[in-house]
Amino acid sequence: MELTLLIEEFKKTYHKLPEKIFFCPGRVNLIGEHIDYNGGNVLPCAITMGTWLAVAKNTEKVIRFQSFNFQEQDSLHLQESYSKTGAQWFNYPLGVLNEFLKDNINLSGLDLFFYGNLPVGAGLSSSASIEVLMAYAISNLFGVNKDGKEIALLAKKVENEFIGVNCGIMDQFAVAMGKKENAILLNCDTLDYEYFPFHSEKYSLTIINTNKQRKLVDSKYNERFAECRNALALLQKKLSVSNLCEISPASFELTKLLIENEVVRRRAQHVISENQRVKDAVLALQMNDWEIFGKLMYASHQSLQVDYEVSGIELDTIIDFCKSFAGCIGARMTGAGFGGCAVALVAENRLDDFKTKLIKHYQTIIGYTPDVFLTSAEDGVKEIAF
C-alpha cells in the first residue's frame, strides 16, 4: 500500500488527516532457532515488510481501532485498564495501551489505522511488529521517550501476560532495534547485543513462505520446552550450568549419555550445536565469507529437521530444492517451524530463475504455490515523514 493510499484511508475513515505515521518491520532469524528459551545466542534482522500506523489524537477520550487487513474494528472509551477480548487482532495494540496506563501515563483518545504486508501466521513476527509499533507511537505522541530496548521488553510483557503467549524476547527486540544492512547478535539470557554487517553485493536475502497454516505449534513448542528442561536437569548432575547453551559441544560429547532417552538427547544436541553455529556464523560474517555462512544455514536446517523435529514436508521441499540450485548458497527454516517460512541466500543474477523453478518444483510436490519475497536487513521501528 502506498503512503498516499494509507493517508486516504485514514481520511475516509476519520474525516481528518493523521498527525503522524509510524512503521515497524517484521523480522527473520538468520540462524539460531529454538535456542532463545535455552539461554542461547540468536542472529535476527529486521526486514523490508512490516506494519504501518496512521494516528491522530481525539478529544473524545475514545480509542478507535481500524485496519486495512482485518474486518474487525472497535471503539473503546478510555479507561484505567483493559483485558483481552476474544481473538481479535486489536488485542495486540490494546495490550500495549493497557501497559502504558499501568504506568499512569496521561493519554488522550486516539484514532488508529493499521496496515501490514506481513503474511499472518508465517513466522515473520506480525504480532511483535504491531506491539512494538503501538508502543513506539504512544511513546512518541505523549513524550514518554522509552528507548528501543524498553519498548521491546514492554511488548514482550504484553505478549506474555495480556495475549498469553510464552514467547522469548527475540522477535520484539529484532523489530525494535533493527539496523539497516546489519544483523543483531542477541544473547537471550543477558540481553547483551552487538551489530554485525549483513549485506552482500553478490547474494540476496530471500524469504519463501510455504503458505501452510501452522498448526500444533503451541503444543509442540511446550513439548520441546519440557524436553530441554529435562535434558538440562540430567546434565546438571555433572555440569555446573544454568541453561543448555552454556554447555560447549565438547562438554556435551563427554556427558550426553547422562540423557538415556534418545529423543531428549537429540533435543539437547540441537540446542548446543545450534548455539555454536551462531557463533561460527558471526565469524563468517566478520570474514565476509558468505559461502561458510550458507553452509551453516543448511546445517542448522538439518539439525532442526532431524534432531529437533520441527520442520515438515513443505519446508524440507524448499530446502532440498535450494541445495540442488547452483545459485543458492544456503537456506533454512526460520521461526517456530511446522510450516511458516524459509530463508535463503540466492545469487543476485539468478533470482528470477530461482523463483520460477522453486515455485514449479514446490507446486509439483505440495500441490499449491509458495510466495517468494526479496528482502534485506533494515532499520527497526521509526516515524515516517509525509
Per-residue model confidence (pLDDT) at position 214: 65
Per-residue model confidence (pLDDT) at position 141: 97
Per-residue model confidence (pLDDT) at position 121: 75
Spell out the domain ranges in the chain: 3-197, 203-375
- Mean pLDDT for 22-40 is 95
- Mean pLDDT for 97-115 is 94
Share of the chain above pLDDT 70, in %: 98
Helices within the chain (DSSP H only): 3-14, 91-102, 126-141, 148-157, 170-177, 217-235, 249-255, 262-286, 290-306, 313-324, 351-366
Per-residue model confidence (pLDDT) at position 217: 59
| Higher per-residue pLDDT: 280 or 338 | 280
Per-residue model confidence (pLDDT) at position 2: 72
- Mean pLDDT for 340-362 is 97
| Higher per-residue pLDDT: 286 or 214 | 286
Beta-carbon count within 10 A of 227 CB:
20
What value does the mean pLDDT of the chain take? Answer: 94
Residue 216 has pLDDT above 60, yes or no: no
| Among candidate residues 5, 76, 26, the one with its CA nearest the CA of residue 340 | 26
Give domain 3-197's CATH number out of 3.40.250.10, 2.40.50.100, 3.40.50.12280, 3.30.230.10: 3.30.230.10
Instruction: Please report which confidence band the pLDDT of residue 183 belongs to, taking 50, 70 and 90 as the band edges.
Output: very high
Residue 160 has pLDDT above 60, yes or no: yes
Per-residue model confidence (pLDDT) at position 294: 98
Share of the chain above pLDDT 90, in %: 86
Residue 382 has pLDDT above 90, yes or no: yes
Instruction: Please report which confidence band the pLDDT of residue 166 belongs to, taking 50, 70 and 90 as the band edges.
Output: confident
- Mean pLDDT for 102-126 is 89
The model's pLDDT over 312-350, given as tens digits with 9 standing for 90+, comes to: 999 999 999 999 999 999 999 998 888 999 999 999 999
SS3 240: coil
Instruction: Please report which confidence band the pLDDT of residue 237 belongs to, taking 50, 70 and 90 as the band edges.
Output: very high
DSSP-assigned letter for residue 49: E
- Mean pLDDT for 96-113 is 94
In CATH, what is the architecture of 203-375?
2-Layer Sandwich (3.30)
- Give me the amino acid identity at 231: A
The CA distance from 137 to 33, in Å, is: 30
Q: Is 171 a catalytic residue?
A: yes
Q: Is 282 exposed, middle or buried (0-12, 13-18, 19+ CB in 10 A)?
A: buried
- Mean pLDDT for 82-90 is 89
From the candidates 171, 189, 218, 371, which is the catalytic residue? Answer: 171
Per-residue model confidence (pLDDT) at position 87: 79
Per-residue model confidence (pLDDT) at position 211: 95
